[in-house]
Amino acid sequence: MGYPDKLSYKTTITDELRHDMMALGGNGRRYLEVGCDVGYTVLSVATAFSECTGVDIDPARILVARDNAMRASVTNCAFIAGDSASVPRGRWDVILIDADHSYAAVKLDYQRIVRSLEPGETTIVFHDYGLASAGVRRFVDELASVGRDVTTLGKRDGWNPLGGAIDGPEAMAIRVHV
């Protein structure tokens, strides 16, 4: 499968983060993205997972994501209009949180997602950790301060193709056991 057509396609995530997340995939494994926009990241990792779901608050973006999946002949992806409260209860192996980057929103997304998980182990990836303006860093650092094992994924520095202040890695991940 080729990546969907988009001039700025690689602005969603770097190839390094895509590779790191795909390495967590496998037969029978499930991927969820909260804040999927028009589905480019979901579609770019779909070959590594048996099932993928993207959630975005904007119904128009979800329609485009579904169209992108159809045009790319990707059949293992579903797209849901809603926020993190819309995440279907279930077992997810890898979850990418890339929605509202404010501290309060990242924390709420995390809490809702963890409550929706069925027993097992899940890797939760927080995108845009290194953006100086994001609340992502504050929340992930808070998790680390209470003993969560935090791992760097994607590019370690210089990864923002859109420009702007960067102070750290592209993404951080934690493992959650329910």
Per-residue model confidence as pLDDT tens for the chain (178 residues): 344 444 344 456 888 888 999 999 988 999 999 999 999 999 999 999 999 999 999 999 999 999 999 999 999 999 999 999 999 899 999 999 998 889 999 999 999 999 999 999 999 999 888 876 678 989 999 999 998 888 888 877 665 655 555 677 888 888 998 8
Q: Answer positive or negative: Cα dihedral of 42, 121, 169, 97.
A: positive
Tell me what pLDDT residue 3 has. 40
Cα 107 from Cα 170, distance rounded (Å): 18
In this prediction the pTM is 0.89
Token pair 């990836």 is found at: 125
Angle between helix axes 103-116 and 136-145 (nearest 10 degrees) is 60
Domains and CATH numbers, the chain: 12-177 (3.40.50.150)
| Token pair 């069925």: residue | 118
Query: E strand or H helix at 107, and its extent?
Result: helix 103-116
Round to whole Å and give the CA distance between 170 and 32: 18
Q: Going by C-beta distance under 8 Å and a sequence separation of 6 or more, which residues neighbour residue 121? A: 93, 175, 176, 177, 178
pLDDT at 105: 94
CB 90 within 8 A of CB 109: no
Amino acid 24: pLDDT: 92
Which are the contacts of 139, defined by CB distance < 8 A and separation ≥ 6? 103, 106, 107, 110, 126
Nearest residue to 150 (alpha-carbon basis) of 119, 128, 171, 177? 171
Name the one residue in this structure whose structure tokens are 């993207």.
54
pLDDT at residue 149, as a whole number: 86
- 86 neighbors 139 (Cβ within 8 angstroms): no
What's the pLDDT at 1? 36
